[in-house]
Structure 1
Amino acid sequence: MFADVVARFPDRVAVTADDRELTYQELDHRAEAVARRLREAGAGAGSLVALLVPRTSALAVGLLGILKSGAAYVPVDPGCPQERIAWTLEDSGAAQVVTTTELAETLGDLSVDVVVLDDARAEPEPPAQPEPPTGAAGQRDLAYVIYTSGSTGVPKGVEVEHRGVVRLFDVTRDRFGFDEHDVWTLFHSASFDFSVWEFWGALLFGGRLVIVSQESARSPEALRELLRAQRVTVLNQTPSAFARLAAVDAAAERPLTALRVVVFGGERLEPAALRGWFDRHGDTRPRLVNMYGITEATVHASYRPVTAEDVAATGASPIGVPLADLGFHALDERGRPVPDGTAGELYLSGAGLARGYLGRPELNKERFVELPGPDGAMLRCYRTGDRVVALGDGGYGYLGRVDDQMKIRGYRIEPGEIEAVLVQHAQVSAAVAVAHDYGAGDLRIVAYVASATPADVLAPRLGERAAAVLPPHMRPSAYVVLPALPLTLNGKVDKARLPEPTAEAALAPIAVDPDGTGGLTGTEERIALIWQTVLELPEVGRDTDFFDLGGTSLSLLRMFGQVNEEFGTDLDITVLIEGATVEALARQIDAARSSTAPTA
């Protein structure tokens, strides 16, 4: 298919990168030179070749060169630790690696054949006309193996065939109208499957691919200027990355006039977070589309335009309808279909499913399963581990991961429900809710939000919002306000890098009256210090309810035990039935101590 595009548009610019531009003919010829060297080294259909290349034009040359040789590529991000790179090469069994001179030095003494892209042999003079394809790969051969995180801590390689990628663009072509006039960004790492959509969305239609440097990918300001200067028409983003871009766009003077479509993927989208964007741009130019997807189903599996009306909705994140050649099946824990409106685990069937996991037969049996279809025939399905619900509009809503569910005090809680409420606030661009163990099994919900609003102002407002919408067991106990949420290399929220909710960083879900923290009695001051320790808050007020400060039933018991120990009392928590405040508890403590005091 790429060869056909080269024949149609030999002189059009195919790739723009910081180091150079390449026409389709130049790109094709350089890639063919790489393919020849790989075939000489023994690569071909059925073999795997690692791709370790920075975000330059060499990335496109190397990727295409591997595919032209007939082999499948195994992308390895240069930003990965050396140990991870070595592990990936060993696990995949790649006998060759396509890289650059600089990166080749990091490979050490690994037993692989190295094809260096900046070797003069990789860049001969282009021929007068496009070269015919010489690769031996067919539609059922592997195109790539991309490694994803494993629940056991060991990454797993997902095997995707050529036909999986081709049908992705066949079934989405009419929905987007991609053509040779489009300009796409390659924003994501080649080791993240979103890049497959970006790369071929441009190069299978004669468009131009703008490779975003690592520096520009990390800077929303630089990215926005790149979009404007290069007149990008198709942008693909995770919601977390787009939140940063949208914040910069809000202060920009020159509009992004060329941008016609933004595709979201990779993580849960909260439409409420798009309110400011819709206020500035509307919802028709650019068009915003949410596409649920996973690597095991070849990038995208659903389609849902997002409109300005969606910002008022809460609950499930709308992911729309499955692509035409895929089936969605929402099943309960026993593998039975759930009724519409009831949450279930999503199983996928259809042409987009991957071949399986490389060298993981037991995992393949567990995740790629057969289920009875509507006609009685068995369907090959992939068990996603995602929770969805069929909505009244005929599409689906995404609730979160089955294994992301929090269970707190017996309640099963979907963090996505909480996050959807928080991003409704106009000053919040992104939010994530996690369970934090405060010790002795005292699990509480901590909300991390991205905002420029001062924390002491924003946290109480969010607490009020949560109290108005969410049941008590779903309300965050503390809020940590950050300028931006940390992201992984793939643009998703990096929960491992969220700061600890210390007393200095986390704020209570309500404002503490400054007048209520001074002039405490001796008893009240001692109780307040215990509350600050148990709740990990910098201050508490005399008349503030313990639960309004983020306390839980378990932390209440811990607090009460410490208070009784501090004052030598034996009070029961039922004394606070009328209200759990410092003032009320101090009154009970003083009364108990006076009743047991010795008389003259």
Structure 2
Amino acid sequence: MPKPGSHNLALKFQQVVDSSPAAAALLCQGQCYDFRTLNALANRFARWLAAQGVTQGSIVCLELPKLVETYALAVACLKIGAPYSFLDPAAPIDRARLMIDRCQPTIIISTRDGAGNRVVLASDADRQNLLEAIEAFDDANLRETEQITGADPAYVMFTSGSTGEPKGAVIPHQGVLHLVEWAADDLGIGPGDRLTNVNPIFFDNSVFDIYAALLNGASVVALDALKGRPPAELIAEITASECTFFFAVPTLFMFLDSMNLLRPDKLPSVRRFMFGGEGFPLARLRRFHETFSGRAELINCYGPTETSCICSSLVITGSTLETAEGFVSLGRLNPGFSHRVLNEDLQPVAIGDVGELWLGGPCVGLGYLNNPEETTWRFRQDPLVKGYRSTLYRTGDLVVQDPRTGQFRFRGRADNQVKLRGYRVELEEIDHALESMPGVVRALAVVIHDANGSRRLLAAYAGSRLEDADLLAHCRHLPAYMVPGRFVWLDNIPTNANGKADRRAVAALIEQSQTMARSPRSADKPVAA
């Protein structure tokens, strides 16, 4: 639980500054900034934002790469109670406009021109001009920071969800404070640690990177794993920065492994690896575990954006890998979370049966920004509580709880559950089946409409190019209606901006290949799954 006197994130940060002002807080673009310096910069930015008309409750959009100004501006927003939203500066203009329209921000600080009250930081000269402008403001802590409560919004994080339309989850201070305390108490993060911020800053995994570090007296190391950047360069930077904790999506770890870079001699300072955001295929995870056994700890974590980043975790051991499941367990829920596992009729399922996970507690977000329809659908009154308000977030994740350990196992997405020939099919189960075959690195099943309008089940895979007959034989343990009718080999499974495997992009690639093989009139249309 959050400690007394730290009822908001800014006060928690100031406590760390007071206790270790000269300790390294941020390593960014070859520079090291201590806590005193970062705090002073944030205080100046906070007063500058106020001079631009930003007040408590105003939205500030930060459409910036990983600069010291970016991190300082986020802390500045926390200090004056103005929720910030990190936006991808490389996102398509139309998508960026949708997110900005949702935010209705008081100010946008961006690397690119556009509409609205916008400060552009497109060059070193722009950055220098801004830094000179804020020199006129006091760098002492602000009195108004005391007035911000744990229930007030801290930031807005956009997530596509199942529809592909960006939704801005509004997350309160108290949710991140619980995350920070869990990082300290369960993961042991504290002074002396250096956490990678490889995750995109506009992706919710970065919330852990930044605040589990800064608010526990550790350092955050700003890194980029951009497409086109030599992966060896990223690994060398992690090692040179002496990072002790490396958090990323499984896709990145598997890519580094395929490049022979995920090895103890390449990452000698890393003592703990954590992964989340998508499943880690079991065969690849076993290899990862064997490679670092006795040298570093591996942690599987789970948590929707809407519940303050992480809600459960599991330390990987030899025994956790002894399973016939496609993925390891999600572990048990962290302190501060309540839950229900409900069926389609919103009734509890028996322990051991599959149902949708609903989450409650102070880490649950405040809804979607300016999106009442989606808020009403996802942030719901606990159907088993009638006498008072009790809000739960329905995750859309299907799980089963182990009656012996209380741990949860993932059973797919409710929105990835499709119906074929009258049967309900979990696409993730097909993914798992293919990924258990030697030579397959990654696989995603998709459903498309063929030229006649019929629904067809196909699967794309990356890794060694295999014979269709061998793939078909490997899938024979699946029910006949779950066996893909076609297998498509790809050099690489496409990923989205957050680095996760992208099922929609796979469907689009398959559809495109089929369009090229026949007249445009009869082109298949991909089904979002």
Question: What TM-score do you get using the length of structure 1 for normalisation?
Answer: 0.76
Partner of 1:350: 361
Q: Does 1:225 align with 2:236?
A: yes
**Which one of 485, 489, 498 corresponds to residue 490 of structure 1?**
498
Partner of 2:413: 401
Structure 1 residues 242 and 133: CA distance shift in structure 2, 3 A: farther
Give the letter for the 1:165 counterpart.
Answer: V
Partner of 1:14: 25
Task: Within 5 Å, give how 1:383-422 maps onto structure 2.
Answer: 383-392=394-403, 393-422=405-434
Contact 2:23 2:34 in 1 (8 A): yes
Q: What is the alpha-carbon distance in structure 2 between the residues aligned to residue 312 and residue 472 of structure 1? A: 27
Alignment length (residue pairs):
495
Contact 1:46 1:70 in 2 (8 A): yes
Q: Does 1:464 align with 2:473?
A: yes
Q: Does 1:47 align with 2:81?
A: no
Q: Provide Cα deviations, 1:170-196, integer angstroms capped at 9, x if missing partner.
A: 234221000111111111222211111
Q: What is the alpha-carbon distance in structure 1 between the residues aligned to residue 277 and residue 29 of structure 2? A: 26
Give the letter for the 1:74 counterpart.
Answer: S
Q: Does 1:292 align with 2:284?
A: no
Structure 1 residues 38 and 217: CA distance shift in structure 2, 3 A: farther
Q: What is the alpha-carbon distance in structure 2 between the residues aligned to residue 209 and residue 171 of structure 1? A: 17
Q: What is the alpha-carbon distance in structure 2 between the residues aligned to residue 502 and residue 93 of structure 1? A: 37
Q: Provide Cα deviations, 1:154-177, integer angstroms capped at 9, x if missing partner.
A: 322111111111012223422100
Structure 1 residues 229 and 476: CA distance shift in structure 2, 3 A: farther
Structure 1 residues 473 and 87: CA distance shift in structure 2, 3 A: closer
Q: Provide Cα deviations, 1:1-20, integer angstroms capped at 9, x if missing partner.
A: 11121222222222112253
Contact 1:347 1:382 in 2 (8 A): yes
Post-superposition offset of 1:383: 1.3
Partner of 1:111: 116
Q: Provide Cα deviations, 1:499-524, integer angstroms capped at 9, x if missing partner.
A: 6448989xxxxxxxxxxxxxxxxxxx
Structure 1 residues 123 and 306: CA distance shift in structure 2, 3 A: farther
Unpaired stretches in structure 1, ≥5 consecutive residues: 506-535, 537-600
Q: What is the alpha-carbon distance in structure 1 between the residues aligned to residue 449 and residue 347 of structure 2? A: 34
Structure 1 residues 286 and 441: CA distance shift in structure 2, 3 A: farther
Structure 1 residues 225 and 425: CA distance shift in structure 2, 3 A: farther
Contact 1:48 1:71 in 2 (8 A): yes
Structure 1 residues 308 and 226: CA distance shift in structure 2, 3 A: farther
Q: What is the alpha-carbon distance in structure 2 between the residues aligned to residue 251 and residue 492 of structure 1? A: 18
Q: Does 1:140 align with 2:151?
A: yes
Q: What is the alpha-carbon distance in structure 2 between the residues aligned to residue 132 and residue 426 of structure 1? A: 57
Post-superposition offset of 1:316: 6.1
**Which one of 252, 258, 266 corresponds to residue 277 of structure 2?**
266
Identity rate of aligned residues, in percent? 30
Partner of 1:195: 206
Task: Within 5 Å, give how 1:56-67 maps onto structure 2.
Answer: 56-67=67-78
Contact 2:236 2:266 in 1 (8 A): no
Q: Does 1:423 align with 2:431?
A: no
Contact 1:275 1:426 in 2 (8 A): no
Q: What is the alpha-carbon distance in structure 2 between the residues aligned to residue 417 and residue 448 of structure 1? A: 14
Q: Does 1:159 align with 2:170?
A: yes
Post-superposition offset of 1:246: 2.3
Q: Does 1:315 align with 2:325?
A: yes
Q: What is the alpha-carbon distance in structure 2 between the residues aligned to residue 14 and residue 223 of structure 1? A: 20
Unpaired stretches in structure 2, ≥5 consecutive residues: 1-11, 515-523, 525-529
**Which one of 368, 378, 381 corresponds to residue 367 of structure 1?**
378
Post-superposition offset of 1:375: 11
Post-superposition offset of 1:294: 0.7
Contact 1:49 1:95 in 2 (8 A): yes
1:483 is paired with a residue whose SS is: coil
Post-superposition offset of 1:401: 1.1
Q: Which moved more, 1:412-421 or 1:357-366?
A: 357-366
Q: Does 1:473 align with 2:481?
A: yes
Contact 1:349 1:382 in 2 (8 A): yes
Structure 1 residues 490 and 32: CA distance shift in structure 2, 3 A: same
Q: What is the alpha-carbon distance in structure 1 between the residues aligned to residue 264 and residue 190 of structure 2? A: 29
Structure 1 residues 376 and 461: CA distance shift in structure 2, 3 A: farther
* Greater relative contact order, per chain length (Cα 8 Å cut-off, separation 6+): 2
Q: Does 1:305 align with 2:311?
A: no
Structure 1 residues 379 and 92: CA distance shift in structure 2, 3 A: same
Post-superposition offset of 1:391: 2.1
Q: What is the alpha-carbon distance in structure 1 between the residues aligned to residue 184 and residue 15 of structure 2? A: 17
Q: What is the alpha-carbon distance in structure 1 between the residues aligned to residue 262 and residue 163 of structure 2? A: 43
Q: What is the alpha-carbon distance in structure 2 between the residues aligned to residue 183 and residue 30 of structure 1? A: 21
Post-superposition offset of 1:76: 1.0
Give the letter for the 2:314 counterpart.
Answer: R
Q: Does 1:434 align with 2:446?
A: yes
Q: CA RMSD in A?
A: 3.0
Post-superposition offset of 1:411: 1.6
Partner of 2:517: none
**Which one of 66, 70, 83 corresponds to residue 94 of structure 2?**
83
